């Protein structure tokens, strides 16, 4: 890899890192809100509380998804810090920048996916 190419890659990764950190903050805030919402006491009225528990289920799913994404983002950030970001975990090849751009926290290349 020539120097210019390497510098391009570093700034690309820096850009992705910034995006990941912003997304992480957003998700953490969201997970926190969901937590608050879920721990609110339900309504006494029967029909209201039926709706409420349905909402809770949806909220819980959204919350779980947020938590799963948070974990992926944290893993990706750790890789960026250790310099292994963008390397396929399966074959050790570089992951195409286009793929990384679309899937910021993917850990395998298109051939191994
Ligand atoms: Zn691979």
CA of 19 to the centre of ligand 1 (A): 24
Tokens 């195409």 locate to 96
Count of domains forming the chain = 1
Mean pLDDT of 39-49: 66
pLDDT tens-digit map of 6-30: 777 788 888 999 999 999 999 999 9
Q: Let me know if residue 52 belongs to a domain.
A: yes
Q: Let me know if residue 23 belongs to a domain.
A: yes
Q: Specify the pLDDT at position 42.
A: 61
pLDDT tens-digit map of 70-88: 999 999 999 999 999 999 9
Give ion ligand 1 contacts, CB < 5 A: 88, 90-91, 109, 112
Distance CA(91)–CA(109), nearest Å, equals 8
CA of 6 to the centre of ligand 1 (A): 20
**pTM for this predicted structure:** 0.78
Q: Let me know if residue 46 belongs to a domain.
A: yes
Q: Let me know if residue 72 belongs to a domain.
A: yes
Residue 95 near residue 86, CB atoms below 8 Å: yes
Q: Let me know if residue 60 belongs to a domain.
A: yes
Q: Let me know if residue 88 belongs to a domain.
A: no
Distance CA(11)–CA(37), nearest Å, equals 39
Q: Let me know if residue 97 belongs to a domain.
A: no
- What is the span of the domain harbouring residue 57? 3-82
Q: Let me know if residue 111 belongs to a domain.
A: no
Q: Specify the pLDDT at position 22.
A: 96
CA of 113 to the centre of ligand 1 (A): 7
């Amino acid at each position: 890899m020539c120097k210019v190419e390497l510098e391009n890659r570093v700034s690309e990764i820096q850009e992705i890192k910034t995006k990941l950190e912003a997304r992480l903050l957003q998700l953490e805030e969201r997970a926190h809100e969901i937590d608050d919402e879920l721990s609110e006491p339900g309504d006494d009225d029967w029909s209201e509380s039926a709706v409420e528990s349905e909402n809770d289920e949806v909220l819980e799913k959204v919350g779980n998804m947020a938590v799963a994404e948070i974990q992926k983002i944290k893993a990706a950030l750790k890789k960026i810090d250790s310099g292994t970001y963008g390397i396929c975990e399966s074959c050790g090849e570089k992951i195409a920048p286009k793929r990384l751009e679309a899937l910021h926290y993917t850990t395998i290349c298109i051939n191994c996916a």
